[in-house]
Amino acid sequence: MEESDLEKRTGQVDNDVECTTWVEYWFEGELVHRSAHVHLKRGIEFGLEAADFN
């Protein structure tokens, strides 16, 4: 198959959690390649604290 025979599609999602981009290549209506890049915007926070003696 020639690269010129492929249909390229791209997409993006950007929200509070991630910024994700992807690229797809389609050949005669069939998905033949999909790559994605997920960029996490933040991790996880855990709270620790010391309590009173009662």
Partner 1 sequence: MANTQALCSAFKLDLLLGKHALHGTGVPARTISTADTYKAALYLASATYDATTTGYSATGEVGNSGSYTAGGPTVTWIAPAKTAGSASNGSSTTYTTLAANVQVTTFSATAFDAVLIYNDTVSGKPAVSVHTFGSQTITSGTFTLTMPTNDSSTGLVRLT
Work out the burial of residue 14: count CB atoms within 10 Å of its CB; fewer than 13 is exposed, 13-18 middle, 19 or more buried: exposed
- Report how many residues bind partner 1 under the rule CB under 8 A: 28
Shortest Å distance, C-beta 16 to partner 1: 11
Q: Is 8 in the site for partner 1 (CB under 8 A)?
A: no
- Closest by Cα among 26, 1, 21, 18 to 10: 21
With CB under 8 A as the contact rule, the residue among 3, 29, 45, 54 that binds partner 1 is 45
Q: In the complex, which residues of this chain contact partner 1 (CB under 8 A)? A: 13, 17-18, 20, 22-24, 31-50, 52
